[in-house]
Amino acid sequence: MFQKGTNYYDGIVGVTQCEIPNKVTFLYNFTLEQYGTYWYHSHLQGQIVDGLKGPLIIYDPKDPFYGKYDYEYVMTVSDWYHTPSGILLPLFRADKYRGFDPMPDSGDISGLGQCDCSAAPKNSTCNPNNKMATYVVKKGKKYRFRIINTSSLVHFTISIDNHPLTIMEVDGDYVKPVTLNTIPINIAQRYSVILDANQPIDNYKIRAHISVCTPNNNLTINYNAPLNYDVTGILKYEGAEDKLPTSKADSLNYTSEACRDVNPSSLKPYYENKVPKNVISTFKVLVTFGNLPTGKQVALINNSSFVPNLNYPTNQQVVEGVDPYKLPPSQNAHVYECNSGDCNDAALDIYIVNNSTDSHPFHLHGHIFYILFNGENNTGIDPPNEADFNFKDPVTRDVVTVLPNSTTVIRYSVNNPGVWFFHCHIQWHLNLGMAVQMIESPSIFKNTTIIPADVTGLCAGIDLAMNKDNKNSKTE
């Protein structure tokens, strides 16, 4: 969400608001300036792991693909942890923990999935016959599937037996149609695809193959989970028998697509969109891991681990006159100004330098960005040659996968004053501090922003229902 003029409703504890107290209802009230496939989720502790998330679909009255499909479905794919995050997170953040990111117990398609019962712990209960997510189609019709990866850790590769998938939307932006047999999708990414129901009436497997893009060892929490890496659903034609699919997969190479995006060079914007050239700031984001003196593991951006100020959000500090250039190092703030005539066509470049063995899905709030360069796996962290950048027709996204030991370069327009979160969307890496605050045009933001009482009231601990000036919140 761009959240133009409403940065305070962006929903990030310590960045744009304080947490919502127990038994308080808080209303996010903002104007939409975009269309497409999105999702919402908590940005506090590990609540996304526990399922505080869901799709958010904004319909476009001028959809250029209107008439190219007859019906649509929303399909989420996700990992699922059987243990609450309130138990997992303290174990994961313990000083003496020497494992990696906690492994999920299972995966699902739209909330339905299967475990690998052959790997289940002895004396545990495991049901191998769980229901599968089923999507009913009518022969001769075309269907738009809005696919969203709402996971905390894992990457998926999606395919439907005997049915190629035509991509027409990526992270909320239309692209020129491109047809693929498999769709790799990382955490927080979204694709809309068109499926032609032109096969014989039958049931066909929907395949959601899991890839874990981080290391694992026998010290990792839940390292021996009965995770079924091949989650399945059903594409059921009207008139087909009620039976499990026996369809065979096309020739699939999950290894080549694991932990990566659809090749950016194959995705072209549907509408001509000129890349801004007036680069007012270039920011290098060096991604590493390390340890505190206590032994606790941390994620580092430019050798600093992000620690949010839970009681005094950054946007509130900026509006109240705190100098953003003097924020503590642990705030991981990158400040850039554009408040003069030089703002025409203004842009910022981020060089994401991944000096780790993990791949990282990086997400930017408040903007979409152009992918100018997406380095291949293990191609090194030296600055890429600008001659290799795509300035002609780069795809725009809000999530990009940065491969291990590589560099990715993105550019976005400087047109939205506020405090915007830029972070890895692997929840465990975010908990370790893999995040930056992009403080855009703070002078303009300070002079044009009044943070509503319902937002500041969260920090003050005010009983908002008793505040007669507040119209957006109430207690239950």
Residue 465 is predicted with a pLDDT of 46
Q: How far apart are CA 16 and CA 28, in angstroms?
A: 12
Residue 116 is predicted with a pLDDT of 80
Closest CA to 437 of 291, 320, 324, 288: 324
| pLDDT block averages, 10 residues each, the chain of length 476 | 96 96 90 95 96 98 97 98 96 97 96 85 80 97 99 98 98 98 97 99 97 95 91 98 91 80 96 93 96 96 97 97 97 90 86 96 98 89 91 97 96 97 98 98 96 93 52 43
Q: How far is CA 151 from CA 155, 173, 188, 323, in A?
A: 8, 21, 7, 36
Q: Are 381 and 405 in contact (CB under 8 A)?
A: yes
Q: How far apart are CA 58 and CA 37, in angstroms?
A: 7
Residue 257 is predicted with a pLDDT of 83
**Alpha-carbon torsion 438, 444, 447, 453, what sign?**
negative
Residue 340 is predicted with a pLDDT of 64
Tens of pLDDT, residues 34-90: 999 999 999 999 999 999 999 999 999 999 999 999 999 999 999 999 999 999 999
Count of positions (residues) in the chain? 476
Tens of pLDDT, residues 361-401: 999 999 999 999 999 887 888 889 999 999 999 999 999 99
Intrachain domains 34-266 and 278-460 with the same fold: yes
Residue 338 is predicted with a pLDDT of 86
Q: Compute how many other C-beta atoms are within 10 angstroms of the C-beta atom of residue 310.
A: 12
- Sorted by sequence, the CB contacts under 8 Å of residue 278 that are 6+ apart come out as 342, 344, 345, 346, 347
Domain parsing of the chain, residue ranges: 34-266, 278-460
Residue 456 is predicted with a pLDDT of 94
| Domain 34-266, second-level architecture | Sandwich (2.60)
Residue 119 is predicted with a pLDDT of 78
What are the structure tokens assigned to 331, written together?
């705030």
Residue 472 is predicted with a pLDDT of 47
Which class would CATH give 278-460? mainly beta
Residue 341 is predicted with a pLDDT of 62
The SS3 call for residue 326 is helix
Report H helices in 236-278: 254-257
Residue 462 is predicted with a pLDDT of 66
Q: Are 155 and 187 in contact (CB under 8 A)?
A: yes
Q: What is the DSSP string of 376-438?
A: PTT--SSPPPGGGS--SS--EESEEEEPTTEEEEEEEE----EEEEEEE-SHHHHHTT-EEEE
